[in-house]
Structure 1
Amino acid sequence: MADPVKRVNLLPQGATAREKAHADTDGRLDDRLAEARAITARKDPTTCPVDLLPYLAWERSVDVWDPAWPEAVKRAVITAAPTVHAYKGTAYAVKTALAALQVQADVTEWWQANPQGQPYTFSQPYTFSVVAHARSPIYGHVLLDARLIKVVFATVMRTKPLSRAFDLTVAANMPGALGAAGIGVARSTVRVPVYADNSEAFASTLGAAGVAVARSMVRVAMVSPPDV
C-alpha cells in the first residue's frame, strides 16, 4: 500500500457533515490513484525497483534468468519476454531473446545454407545454425566464458522450434586476451570462435577446456569478425 497522499484541508470551519464526507471520499480516491501509479511503475521493466525484477521476470515467464546479470541486461530480458513468447519457435524469437543479452545472432535455416543443407536426419542432425556474436561482457570483464555460452545455449533451446536440432557457434570480438571454457550440451555441437589478428598471439592468450558429454563437442575456431 502506498502512503496516503498528503493534502491540505481547504474546508471552512463551518463545513457540513456532507461536505466533509465528500472531501474524505475524494482523498481516498487520490490515495488509490497513487497506489495504482506505484503498481504501474513496478510492472514496467524500466522503472521497476531492482530488488523486484526477479518477481517481474517470473510474472512475464522469462525462460532463462541469471541473478548475476547486470541490471541493464535483466531489464532488457524482461522487456523482450512478451515478444519472445509471441514469436517462440521462430528465428525472430531466437534473435530477439539473444539481443536482450547483448548478443547478435545470425540464424541460417537448412534450406538457406549454401550449399543447401537437408532436413533432420540421424547422419545430419542440424536443421538450422546459429552464430551468436557477444558484443558486451555480462559477467565481469570477460566477454566470453562458460557462463555466457551456457546462457546462449539455454536461450536458443527455450526459443527454437521444439523438434529442431541446431548447430551453435558462440563468437566474441575483443582486442585483448580472452578466456573460454567448454561446456557440455546435449545433441548439439558448440564451437567457440574468437577473433584475433595473429594466431600465435591467440594461442598464447586463449585457454579452452572441453567437457565430454554424449554427442557434444567444444571447438575453438578462427573466424573473421562480422560486418557491423
Structure 2
Amino acid sequence: MKVTTICIALCLMVLHIEGKWRPEYNEDKIGNRRYRDAANEISTRRPHYRVGDPPDHNKVIPMARYVMHNTDWASIATISILPAIQGFPFSNIKSIVDGSLANSTGVPYFYMSPLDFTSQDLSRNNRASVLVSLEQTDYCIKEKIDAEDPRCTRLMLTGKMKKVREGTPEYTFAKAALFERHPAMADFPTDHNWFVAKLKIAQIAMIDWFGGAKYIPVKDYLAYNYTGTEMIQRYNELYGKHES
C-alpha cells in the first residue's frame, strides 16, 4: 500500500513540474505559431544532411558563407559572470540562422532569453566568439574526416552581440528566419522574454585546409552574394516543399 501511495505521489509531482514548464496556450503563443506558419510551415528537421558539396577550399569567401548558411547551431563563447568562474571563457550552444532559406546575409542571428547563461554574460560584456563547422552537416562523416581535421572547415566569428530592435524590418526578417529553420521556437515558454540578437562581426578566421587560419575581411564576407540554394534543396528533399 505504501509503495502504491509513493508511486502516485511521484506521478503527481512530475505532472506538476511539467505543468509549470509548459506555458498556457495564450494569444502570444498563437502569434508565434502564425509567425512559424508564415515561414514555410516546416515542423521537423534532421541533424545531418547532404545536398551539394561545399565550394573548393581555395574559394575562401564562398566557403565561409557556405558554412555559415548551412549550419543550424553554433558554439558561442562569452566571458562568464558566474561567481565560481567569473572572468573565465564560457561556451554554450545556440540555434542560429544567417537569414531565410533563400536569403543568406552572413550575419549570425539568435533567439535568446535573459534567463540563459549566455544572455547574462552578454549583459555585462557583449563581446563573443561564434564557431560553426562542416561537422554539423554530414560532409566530414561522408569523407571520413575527423572534426578536428583542417579539411573539415570551421569558421570563427568574433565581435559584439547586439539586440535587434523590435518592430524594425531587420527584426521581422530575422525572427521569421529563425522560426523557419527552428520551428520548435514557436513553442518556447512565452514568459522567458525572448529577443532577437545578432553578432556585429569584428574578425573572421577560418580553417579549411592545411597551412593555418585564413583571415577574411568582414566587408568582403558580407558583400558576397550567396543565394543559399543548398538549403532550399535540402528542405525540398526532406519535406517535399517546392518553391513556386
Does TM, scored on the shorter chain, surpass 0.5? no
- Normalized per residue, the structure richer in strand is 2
Structure with more relative contact order (C-alpha pairs < 8 Å, separation 6 or more) = 2
- Structure 2-normalised TM-score? 0.26
TM-score (norm 1): 0.27
